[in-house]
Amino acid sequence: MSKIEINSLIDADIEICFNLARDVDFHKESLKHSHEKAVAGKTSGLIGLGEWVTWEAKHLGVKQQLTSKITEFEYPNYFVDEMVSGAFKSFRHEHYFRKNNRKTLMIDVFYFESPFGLLGKLINWLFLKKYVQNLLTTRNKFLKEQAESL
C-alpha cells in the first residue's frame, strides 16, 4: 500500500478549511482541469458522515468513475473518505485539521493500492503515485488560496 502525506499551513480559521475540504462544489472547482463532476450521491454542498459521491473525471487520458464515502467524521478536526468503487484496488483519504496559533495546519494522508497486481505496482512506481500527489497538491494549493481570501 502506498502512502502520500501533504501538510499545508493555511492563514485561515479551522472551520473554513474543514468546510472547504468537504465541499463537493469546491472539489469540482479545484480539479476543473480534469473535468471532474459529481454524478451521483451527494452532488453539491457539504458532504458528511455516511454520505457518498460518485465522481466522473478524465485522468491519464481515460474517462472514469470513482465512488467514495465519508466513513469517519469529527467536526472540525478530522474526516475520512474511502473508495467504494473505482479504478484503485482501494484508497483511504484522511483529512486532519489542527489549530496552529491563528492558522490551520491541514494534513492529508492518502493510502492507496493499485489494481493489477505486479503490473499495478510497476505503474505505481513509474508514475501513479506522483500523479496522485500532484492532484492532491493542486487541490490543497487551491484550498489555501480560497481560504486565505475569505
Give domain limits for the chain: 2-149
First-to-last alpha carbon distance for the chain, in angstroms, is 37
CATH architecture under which domain 2-149 falls: 2-Layer Sandwich (3.30)
For the segment 49-71, what is each residue's pLDDT rounded down to a tens digit? 999 999 999 887 889 999 999 99
For the segment 122-149, what is each residue's pLDDT rounded down to a tens digit? 888 888 899 999 999 999 999 999 999 9
pTM of the entire structure?
A: 0.93
For the segment 5-43, what is each residue's pLDDT rounded down to a tens digit? 999 999 999 999 999 999 999 999 998 888 899 999 999
CA dist., res. 30 & res. 20, Å (int): 10
CA dist., res. 91 & res. 94, Å (int): 10
